[in-house]
Chains A and B, each alone.
Chain A
Amino acid sequence: MSLFRSTLRAAAFLGATFLSMNLTAQAEEKPIQIGFAIAESGWLHNYDGPPFKAAVMRIEEINKAGGLNGRKIEYKVIDTKTERERSATAGAELVEAGVDLLVVSCDYDFGAPAALAGNQAKIITMSLCAADPKMGVQGVGPYAFTANSAAQSEGIAIAEYAQKKLGLKTAYVLEDLTIEYNKSACAGFRAAWINGGGEASILGNDTFKNDDPSIAAQITRLKSLPTQPDAVFVCSFTPGGASAVRQIRAAGVELPILANTAMVDNYWLNSAPGLKNFYLAAFMSLYGDDPRPEMNKFVEDHKARWSEAPVSSYAVLGYSLIEQWAYAVEKAGGTDSDKVLEVMNTYKDQPFLVGPTSYTPELHIQTARPWLIMKVENESFRAVEIYRNSFTPSMELLFRVGN
């Protein structure tokens, strides 16, 4: 009887040991969790969707290659329905679910509520494409990043390029006051243009609203200038930006138009038929002529995975977001947020698909990532060349406090 009992006990002990060993092994192989608190419906979906699809592509590539540190990556999406309140609850829910990386919407206002939840729980949180430096240490907190460049550097890059490569001397700035993003792009443009050509090289400023049905008054002012400028910088976004470009050209103003990155991609060019002499700083070309072959491969891979080319060139930011975090996880040897954060904060021109990427403990947004300058020709955007701005925005300019 006692023999039976001790055998039983031994078996139970062995079984328990075996079970616990098995559990440890499972814990090691527990998949990495990435949570997306993004808009899958509502207007923001159109801006969150393309980078999200590209992010999924990168996750699948990593899994196919054996996972991250041998662990598979799983992801979960909670729809914020383009509402700030839902962004907060979606973020909190994903944090609760124990995600290792939280990805939030492409906009500071709509991404920050979710990001705050992630930052509070000390989880690395990255925005798909917010262009506001507040999506970082100073705004959300030390664990928040954005995959995009600061809006200021879009304005800086095209200003420098226009002065140095296109030989333009004077500019006129038409600023869309609807959202902060445009104001930041315009602030960057002005700072860089003045830096290169002096205060007097900006011949004037005017403002409009994205939903203005007409900018006739602004065009009249531009045409009434005593000397016409060499270029007009329009900081806006569609549809208002497209409407402005159409009205400027229809009024017979054939000056070169410089614009910010939000005006990239062909979808709006119908508004301004025959448009030319239009330049901006872009992430990449969707039209097969990017000077970087890896970008053209990215478009092909996207077609293979989603049976269509990316709807927007902002997609590449989502792909590189996963790249950036995954690289740090590999380096840190695990998903521990503090260790990953330490690695990410030391990035200095770290090469990723979207371009060299740098972070510091103070700044979690790009200010001098090389841009692909693009121009419009024959009803399509065309790649011109890669250009890296040499003037970088100061902290004051980035947060638009003082000048």
Chain B
Amino acid sequence: MLNFIQVLFDAAALGSLYALVALAIGLVFGIMRLINFAQGDYLTIGAYALVVPTASVTPPLLFGALPWPLMVAGVLATCIIVALLTERIAFRPLRNANPATLLISSFAVSYFIQHALMLVHTGRPKSIAMGSSLAQAIDIFGVRIPGVQLVTMTVTVSLLIGFVILLKKTAIGIQMRAAAENFQMARLLGVRANKVIAFGFALSGFLAGIVSLLLVAQTGTLDIKMGIMPVIFAFFATVIGGMGSLAGAALGGFLVGVTSVLLQAYLPPDLRAFRDAGVFALVILVLLVRPKGLIPSSASRERV
């Protein structure tokens, strides 16, 4: 018999991780109506920034060799810079294009980053000795809690609180919410579009950096495609939560992670292979019942 509390804990940990990625996707979508599939590649770049860019299969460490506060800062800075660069080069010139064009552009950015990384690092997965002390589990009343899951949940909760404060209390936060609500009106009222959008991308880069560190600490591996699955799940999460709603994105991410773990834990062995199908069925179910997602944003109401 499975320890139910243990399963809940496993589920909450994965849910938190997906919530962070979904939050980043939701943030950019809210302001720009862009589903940024390159989000996963920001994450990949952040992870690869830990090692020196070489073709070697056992590369020496770059940021990974620094003391941990510097390492975290280095990875976050890398992700933020990449996010800002892609915004400036690939998305800003297309700002007035329709959302489908933006989506195509994000795919192009994604493929470009993946292949650029492959050119430098080769396609062979690499491993990295980092955060293994964090990966160790501690035992509390028979519940096994790996350090990295504890960190993931703590980071997610604090970031969510931080985001709420940022969006409600700071000038830039209020401008972002205004832009998400009605971009034209916000601009007419003096909100500077470039600044707000760039800030949104910087935040999504920041989140990508956090997720890449958590993922590497958990798996100890680097792979060109490591960002793809989290982003696909996060995309579904934003759909479940309600496109354009930040609270919805976080909630959706959490639900997707939790569902995935619960299905893995309680499906009979023959059906476990279809775990992901179960997660996607959840998306369909939610959309049938609540077509605008669990927490629809006011912007999406206006548009329909």
Contacts and interface: CB of A to CB of B under 8 A. Distances in A.
B264 A271 contact: no
Interface string B223-258: 111101110000000000000000000000000000
Interface stretch (A192-200, A213-221, A322-330): A213-221
A246 B135 contact: yes
A273 interface: yes
A33 interface: no
Given A213-B230, A243-B219, A267-B58, 19 more contacts: A43-B118, A43-B123, A45-B123, A46-B123, A206-B272, A209-B229, A209-B276, A213-B215, A214-B261, A216-B261, A217-B11, A217-B265, A220-B10, A238-B221, A246-B219, A247-B146, A267-B124, A267-B126, A269-B127
Interface in B77-117: none
B118 A251 contact: no
Interface string A258-276: 0000000011111111000
Contacts of B139: 252
Nearest to A82: B123
Given A46-B122, A239-B127, A220 B14 contact: no
A225 to B, nearest CB: 10
Contacts of B220: 242-243, 246, 270-272
A122 B247 CA distance: 63
Interface residues of B, number: 49
B156 interface: no
Nearest to A47: B124
Interface string A336-379: 00000000000000000000000000000000000000000000
A14 interface: no
Nearest to B138: A252
Interface in B186-224: 215, 218-224
Interface residues of A, number: 43
Interface of B: 1-3, 6-7, 10-11, 13-14, 17, 57-58, 118, 122-129, 132, 135-137, 139, 144, 146, 149, 215, 218-226, 228-230, 261, 264-265, 269, 272-273, 276
Interface of A: 42-46, 82, 177, 205-209, 211-214, 216-221, 223-224, 238-240, 242-243, 246-247, 250-252, 266-273, 311
Contact of B3 (A209, A224, A250): A224
Contacts of B128: 270-271
Contacts of B3: 220, 224
19 contacts: A42-B118, A43-B118, A43-B123, A213-B215, A213-B218, A213-B229, A214-B261, A216-B13, A216-B14, A220-B144, A221-B265, A238-B127, A239-B221, A240-B221, A246-B219, A267-B57, A267-B127, A271-B221, A311-B57
Given A211-B226, A216-B261, A242 B125 contact: yes
Contacts of A45: 122-123
A250 B224 CA distance: 24
B177 to A, nearest CB: 30
Contacts of A246: 132, 135, 219-221
Contacts of B122: 45-46
Contacts of A273: 129, 132
Given A213-B215, A220-B265, A273-B129, A243 B221 contact: yes
Contacts of B124: 43, 46, 267, 311
A207 B125 contact: no
Nearest to B136: A250
B99 to A, nearest CB: 27
